[in-house]
Amino acid sequence: MTEQAASGASAGLWRRLMNGRDPGEEHRAATPLELFFDLCFVVAVAKAAAELHHAIAEAHLADGLVGYLSVFFAIWWAWMNFTWFASAYDTDDVPYRLLTLVQMAGVLVLAAGVPAAFEHFDFTLVVVGYVLMRVALIAQWLRAAAEHPEGRGTALRYAAGIAVVQVGWIARLWAPGMWAGITFVVLVLAELAVPAWAEARGGQTHWHPRHIAERYSLFTIIVLGEVILASLTAVQSAVSASGVSVPLVLVAAGGLVLVFALWWIYFTGAEAHLGSLRTALTWGYGHFVVFAALAAVGAGLGVTVDAATHHAHVSEQAAALSVAVPVAVVMLVLAVLHRLTGTGAVERAVLVLAGAVVVLAFAATPPLFGLGGAMVGMGLTVSMTLAGNLVLSARHARGRG
């Protein structure tokens, strides 16, 4: 490489023009920075799931669920916004990386505030972390507006919409009594409305459909990995405290089969087709439920381990429900999303519905089969639902051939 070429490469690394990526770019894949970014976010997911686990085990379900959904929305929404921005404007130069670092720092601050949010409904540190992430994203959008004339209107709308809502989140810290809940709902709706408003009024950003689908898939794997880690930690603690027992082995085995089957259901069929903004937003927003429910499965598995070793303050039926409910939610929402994006992974919606009902029914069976038997039954039910859809998909493919 000549000295002039090396100088040009170095200059390109320092600063590249943020003029929008090609949405039809071949072989577009997640970057190392995006993967590193995801790992920071899964720390926050793990903290939220751990707090939910403790809340359920201590019979504080209502408070725990409110705290969990509130915190998880902040985590997911900040991740989603960065992911879609990066799909359209990733330059991977020094300013871009530094602003991404600020967002990563913000999510770690948010994660540090999760215990206070659960235990005292004190969201101060969570909001500080969230605002750090959002201010960095506003800076990214302003840079895109300055350097990409074609997308300037959309970029400015994003920056303005995000900024206005962040002022609302800060002001909400002083909302008294019932207004705290009301303002939370209003601000969540405002957040969800910003992309639709910005894209519809200013023109669609150049996000890459296949890149977006891959990013969501990778984050799903990371969340499932967190579920496995949380379950393993719970089992290790139980073995250290009480030793190995048949119920504990059955709970662990049933949980592993369950998580593997859920992974297979997600990664069955063709790549998601995100052909329109409406489809993409519905698919993207629907993943809030998928991610939150998958992480909640990990919390529920921790509760079942506690119940199996008599360290939980809830019944075995309640412990089984803490797994069955999020599993059923994942199955049903994935069925809708698979249908929406034409992946072909769900051939019979009634089969998925029946599987979800049977999973919920197993939550009532611990008095008959024990908690371990109920967990094994859930795992087998999800596996059979998967197998039925695979068989039907294969028949449908042969019929078309």
Q: End of a domain among 163, 185, 202?
A: 202
Q: Does the residue 79 lie in any domain?
A: yes
Q: Does the residue 16 lie in any domain?
A: no
Cα 353 to its chain centre, rounded Å, is 22
Residue 12 has pLDDT above 60, yes or no: no
User: How many domains, the chain?
Assistant: 2
| Both tokens assigned to 159 | 């920056």
| Both tokens assigned to 162 | 């995000």
Cα 325 to its chain centre, rounded Å, is 17
| Both tokens assigned to 93 | 């130069």
Q: End of a domain among 202, 230, 261?
A: 202
Whether 91 and 18 have beta carbons less than 8 Å apart is answered as yes
Residue 164 has pLDDT above 50, yes or no: yes
- The whole-chain average pLDDT of the chain stands at 87
For 207-260, the pLDDT digits (tens) are 888 888 889 989 999 999 999 988 888 888 888 877 788 888 999 999 999 999
Whether the model clears a pTM of 0.75, i.e. scores above it, the answer is: yes
d(CA 329, CA 391): 23
**In this predicted structure, which of 116-130, 200-214, 302-316 has the lowest mean pLDDT?**
200-214
Residue 7 has pLDDT above 70, yes or no: no
Domain that holds residue 82: 30-202
Residue 348 has pLDDT above 80, yes or no: no
Q: Does the residue 68 lie in any domain?
A: yes
| Both tokens assigned to 222 | 């990371």
pLDDT bin (cut points 50, 70, 90) of residue 397 is low
Looking at the fold, whether 174 and 308 belong to one and the same domain comes out as: no
pLDDT bin (cut points 50, 70, 90) of residue 96 is very high
Looking at the fold, whether 282 and 388 belong to one and the same domain comes out as: yes
d(CA 33, CA 137): 15
Looking at the fold, whether 330 and 374 belong to one and the same domain comes out as: yes
Q: Does the residue 254 lie in any domain?
A: yes
Contacts of 288 (CB under 8 A, 6+ apart): 72, 73, 76, 77, 80
Q: Does the residue 112 lie in any domain?
A: yes
The mean pLDDT value for 7-28 works out to: 67
| Both tokens assigned to 244 | 């190995």
pLDDT bin (cut points 50, 70, 90) of residue 23 is confident
Q: Does the residue 294 lie in any domain?
A: yes
Residue 106 has pLDDT above 50, yes or no: yes
The mean pLDDT value for 255-273 works out to: 85
Whether 58 and 52 have beta carbons less than 8 Å apart is answered as no
The type of residue at 205 is T
Residue 24 has pLDDT above 90, yes or no: no
SS3 101: helix
pLDDT bin (cut points 50, 70, 90) of residue 344 is low
Whether 262 and 330 have beta carbons less than 8 Å apart is answered as yes
d(CA 31, CA 93): 12
Looking at the fold, whether 93 and 191 belong to one and the same domain comes out as: yes
Residue 8 has pLDDT above 60, yes or no: no
The mean pLDDT value for 38-62 works out to: 91
Q: Which residue has the higher pLDDT, 305 or 281?
A: 305
Q: Which of the residue ranges 204-218, 241-255, 314-328, 356-370 has the most confident prediction, judged by mean pLDDT? A: 314-328
Q: End of a domain among 202, 218, 246?
A: 202
Q: What is the CATH number of the domain that holds 310?
A: 1.20.1410
Q: Does the residue 165 lie in any domain?
A: yes
Looking at the fold, whether 251 and 301 belong to one and the same domain comes out as: yes
Looking at the fold, whether 251 and 182 belong to one and the same domain comes out as: no
Q: How far is CA 116 from CA 47, 176, 313, in A?
A: 11, 18, 22
Q: Does the residue 265 lie in any domain?
A: yes
pLDDT at 269: 66
Looking at the fold, whether 256 and 180 belong to one and the same domain comes out as: no
Residue 6 has pLDDT above 60, yes or no: no
